[in-house]
Amino acid sequence: MDPTAPILLFDSGVGGLTVLGALRRVLPQAPVIYAADMAGLPYGDKSEAEVAARVAGLLGRMAERWHPRLICIACNTASTIALGMVRDVLETPIVGTVPAIKPAAERTRSGIIGLLGTEATMRQRYVDDLASRFAAGKRLLRHGANGLVPLAEARMRGEAITAEAVSREVAGLLSQEGAEAIDTVVLACTHFPLLADELAQALGPGVALIDGAEGIARRIAHLTHGQPFHRPSPDRAVTTGDLGEFRTLGEAFASYGITRLEKL
């Protein structure tokens, strides 16, 4: 194993930074390339065929260019749609990001779990299978909150985000029958933990917010256990979109240890 081979973190935008933060805590020495498909953002309102083709195509190009030791699809929508396809076509180990339904089911006391993600994630059979496997006997209330993604992106650009704007996006969850008994909410989009304070206020006291970032980081650490790591140059973030616009996120990336922002 080349010790300079990076871990590639891929997301539609900056949501994957929540995974990067967890990864830094368990593998601080690992070289990382963060890839943001800003030209394709958002994924939540795209068709399954469009997301699958885009993700597989981009990851194929990136694997050929950078030869990563492991690829993490740090995006629930991309993972629930394209994970199987990408694993079929690439030899690189792939770690996906899927809704943290299992830990939520273990934590809930009321048996009523909220699931917040993009509309595309909410309609996937993958989510149905996770619910059947890990949350049998529990009630799962789903809500597609696509509007939280641009709010999270704006937050990371340093723009002011109001609690009212976040509340409007989760109103569809709280208006469902039985929602008053929700005690656990799965944040099934890596962007959503970036709005944790506003979400906690909107959902009310006593509601636990669960996301999968720590579990994903542990999985990556397990799969790379014993491998040598060497970072010969600073980590970088690349974008498929406009570089000037991407640089407005410079402070956010710097807070995660990335100061090199480049065009893919």
Per-residue pLDDT tens digits for 103-146: 999 999 999 999 999 999 999 999 999 999 999 999 999 999 99
pLDDT confidence bin for 3, thresholds 50/70/90? very high
pLDDT tens digits, residue range 59-113?
999 999 999 999 999 999 999 999 999 999 999 999 999 999 999 999 999 999 9
* Residue 198, helix vs strand vs coil: helix
Range of the domain at 176: 101-211
141, 187, 189, 238: the catalytic one is 189
Count up the domains in the chain and report the number.
2
Identify the active-site residue in 20, 36, 72, 75: 75
Whether the upstream peptide bond of residue 150 has omega within 30° of 0, thus cis, is no
Give me the pLDDT at residue 152, please.
97
Distance of CA 78 to the CA centre of its chain: 9
Do residues 106 and 175 both lie within one domain? yes
179 part of a folded domain = yes
Distance CA 59, CA 68 (A): 10
Residue pointed to by tokens 């979400």: 199
Clarify whether residues 105 and 88 are in a common domain.
no
User: Which pair of structure tokens corresponds to residue 41?
Assistant: 């953002």
pTM of the model: 0.96
30-54 pLDDT per residue, tens: 999 999 999 999 999 999 999 999 9
| Mean local confidence (pLDDT), 224-245 | 97
Reply yes or no on whether 72 is catalytic.
no
Query: Has residue 1 been placed in a domain?
Result: no
Q: What is the pLDDT of residue 1?
A: 87
C-beta separation of 253 from 20 below 8 A: no
